[in-house]
Amino acid sequence: MNIIKQDNNIFILETENTHYVIGIDEIGYNHHIHWGKKCNPADYYINDIGDENSNHTMLDEYRQELTPFGQTMYRDCDIKAEFDDKCREINLEYIGSSSTKDTLSLTFADKYYPLEITLHYQIFEGLDIIKRYSTLKNTGTGKICFERISSAQFNLPSVKPYTFRNTNGAWGGEFIESNNILDGGYTIFESRRGASNHNNSPYFIAYQNADENTGDVYFASLAYSGNFKVSCSRDLYGVTRVVVGMNDFDFSHTLNGGESLDTPPVYCGYTQGFGDMTRQMNRFCVNHLLPKQFNNETLPVLYNSWEATEFAVNVKQQTELARLAAKMGVELFVMDDGWFGQRKNDRAGLGDWYVNKEKFPNGLDELINAVNELGMDFGIWVEPEMVNADSDLFRAHPDWAYHYPNRKACELRNQLVLNMTREDVQDYIFNVLDDLLSNHNIKYVKWDMNRPFSETGAENLENPKMYSYLHTMAVYSIVDKLKELHPDVAIESCASGGGRCDLGALSHYDQAWTSDNTDGIDRMTIQKGYSLLRPTKTMRAWVTDIAGINKPCSLDFRFAVAMQGSLGIGGDLTKYSVEDLEICKKNIEIYKQIRDIVQFGDLYRVLDIEKDEVLLNQYVSEDKSKAVAFLLANGTRFYKKRIPVCFKGLDDNKQYKLTVQNKTYEKSGAYLAAIGIPLHIRGVDYNEVIQIEEV
């Protein structure tokens, strides 16, 4: 790992296996030179930009790290601004660099106007991940109004088309993979809904001839939970570029004199195959991105009451659920929606964060104490950014929700979005949550957010189009402040399932709720999408009573799916038979033996449920002494003969022991990877959790 600065103003970011190379030419223009395998540093040089004619401009061909709007730049730019005198051109020149052993900053200033832009890069020991972001600074006294601010631009090396993998999901079907070949024009992945949403993910994965283990894979993930835009393009010269950052939809950002803005960071990398991409990002997130309190801790097995009791929570039935959960080995009991205000259904109560006395006549502590006496921690659900019109909060402060005075605001799920850009709203939310955590022994908060934004009028702001950015920053800052004051409380990001689990959210929250779809079969696909560029341990996965909507599956099967993240239980345990409770207990015990490997290990997606009809996901400990493989199938379509099932990611030279289909084998890592074990996988509800150990 190194930052190499050459005499000819060429900067090389040397990661574990890659080079990322930038150059500054004599006239101060920035050039992207290379991203990919390492070459001899002395060979890098700045290419001629080429000729111009009346319609072919020099800038058309240019590969840049930073493209401001101006001159003859017609493609997607990184930064577009209007200065005080209405000039909309930015004209930058290079003014200098600074570097340490793992960071590089390149600064540019406008030739006339008071705008300075610094590009920041950071590399990380043992990884091929690069962090990028920019700082925009208004060095004058007047205003600068930005219409577009990206975090980074990427130029991909090959002139052949790349395929872009993203997710094309929805509520209940998050992270469903999509793959688009980009031959020419633009492909956009974005959110316009206020938060990062269930549909597209704020990242790109661009690949050529790639599978899990081979082929060129370029990726970059934006750490931002507001409206984002990933704009991918391929021009006539075959150059594929991607601009990643905040969405310019319904957006502008004002910097007054002396103010500056750090853009949300992007984490990017180049790997051979999707598998290494996932493993790099997983390690990076655990070691460098997740909040420090719990990044190195194994997450507890939790129980969540939502699917069992919905809004009808009360002290008696929650205590009964807690008793059953404790018996099976659950470590954290989380009471979901319904405990506060007049919350009998989703039509009332949001915003009134006081305990409902009909449901909890003696307050929350009666339940919390019972849970603690059963040996479990207690967690609670909140939805701080929202308000029901039927609530004391809204009656007292109707102006606290985003609105336009002469427009009716849409009430999706009967609720409105609080204007978190207001300081009084921020103070109210912070104080309510701080009181809750200060007055009760709560160790876990599930922070939900159940609707997208609309009618985002914010009269308090001079520039209301900054709402998505300011709202997002306010949420992050409240979460950070709560964590600082209550360092033993873990916080989960939930947004109607997986509507806000981008790397921005995961820089502040400790984990995320993946999807409201807890169907064991659907989850295999949803979890694969989650796993691509998000860390395993943040993926909360519950076993519930949804026993396969289209293809029934057993409790064991559902456990084998949910154990591939941070395990939770969410069924109505009061209806479970003695045998079912025993199955839960057995599986929770197994999970406790393997969760270190799952939560911190390297994931190898060996067989894909969509393509192979069989799922084999294998998690391998960092020292390769242990692994756990989840082998699942539910109704293979044709009579499957024995197939050799290979186990990946092990040490070729180590000897391992594993038991599968009731037979124990002792084989080397090399044998298991190349030859494997012939297994007969057929029928419905096939599931095995295979523990592999070095002998």
Q: Name which of 191 and 515 has its Cβ closer to ligand DGJ.
A: 515
- The residue whose Cβ lies closest to ligand DGJ is 337
Q: Write down the least CB distance from residue 561 to ligand DGJ, Å.
A: 17
Tell me: does residue 309 bind ligand DGJ (CB under 6 A).
Answer: no
Closest distance between ligand DGJ and the C-beta of residue 345, in Å?
A: 10
Region near ligand DGJ per CB under 6 A, out of 64-72, 218-226, 494-502, 560-568:
494-502
* Residue number, 132 or 500, with CB nearest to ligand DGJ: 500
Q: Give the count of beta carbons closer than 10 Å to the beta carbon of residue 654.
A: 16
Is position 513 an interface residue for ligand DGJ (rule: CB under 6 A)? yes
Cα(584)–Cα(575) distance, integer angstroms: 13
* Region 363-382 residues binding ligand DGJ, contact defined as CB under 6 A: 381
Candidates 469-477, 493-501, 623-631, 666-674: pick the segment binding ligand DGJ (CB under 6 A): 493-501
Neighbours of 116 (CB within 10 A): 17
Round to whole Å and give the CA distance between 649 and 618. 8
Does 11 contact ligand DGJ by CB under 6 A?
Answer: no
Q: Is 352 a catalytic residue?
A: no
Binding positions for ligand DGJ, 137-196, rule CB under 6 A: none
CA dist 654 to 601, 621, 641, Å?
17, 13, 29
Q: Which of 331, 337, 385, 522 binds ligand DGJ (CB under 6 A)?
A: 337
Task: Name which of 568 and 669 has its Cβ closer to ligand DGJ.
Answer: 568
Q: Are 629 and 690 in contact (CB under 8 A)?
A: yes
Q: Which of 15, 197, 450, 517 binds ligand DGJ (CB under 6 A)?
A: 450
Strand-pairing partners, residue 164, are 180, 206
CA 454/CA 419 separation, integer angstroms: 11
Three-class secondary structure assignment of 464-512: HHHHHHHHHHHHHHHHHHHHHHCCCCEEEECECCECCCCCCHHHCCCEE
Q: Are strands 216-222 and 415-417 parallel, antiparallel or unpaired?
A: unpaired
Toward ligand DGJ, which CB reaches closer, 204 or 306?
Answer: 306
Which residue among 76, 78, 377, 516 is the active-site one?
516
CA distance 222 to 534: 11
Site membership for ligand DGJ, residue 284 (CB under 6 A):
no
The answer to the question of residue 526 lying near ligand DGJ (CB under 6 A) is: no
Contacts of 310 (CB under 8 A, 6+ apart): 336, 337, 338
Q: Does 448 bind ligand DGJ (CB under 6 A)?
A: yes
Cα separation, 160 vs 544, whole angstroms: 46
Least distance (Å) from ligand DGJ to the CB of residue 515?
A: 8
The residues in 668-687 that bind ligand DGJ, with binding defined as CB under 6 A, are: none
Q: Minimal distance in Å, beta carbon 498 to ligand DGJ?
A: 8
Q: How far is the CB of 306 from ligand DGJ (least distance, A)?
A: 4
Among 128, 336, 502, 519, binds ligand DGJ (CB under 6 A): 336
Q: Could you give the C-alpha distances from 196 to 277, 357, 545, 556, in angstroms and in order?
A: 21, 36, 29, 33
Residue located via tokens 């590969």: 63
Active site residue 516: yes
Catalytic residue among 128, 336, 352, 448: 448
What are the start-end ranges of the H helices in 183-251? none
Q: Which two tokens stand for residue 315?
A: 């002290």
Query: Which residue stretch of 41-49, 253-261, 416-424, 492-500 sits at the interface with ligand DGJ (rule: CB under 6 A)?
Result: 492-500
DSSP code of 288? I
Furthest CA-CA distance within the chain: 81
Distance (Å, whole) CA 33 – CA 46: 7
Q: Which of 124, 303, 306, 604 lies at the binding interface for ligand DGJ (CB under 6 A)? A: 306
Known catalytic residues?
Answer: 448, 516
Query: Which positions lie near ligand DGJ, rule CB under 6 A?
Result: 306, 336-337, 381, 448, 450, 494, 496-497, 513, 516
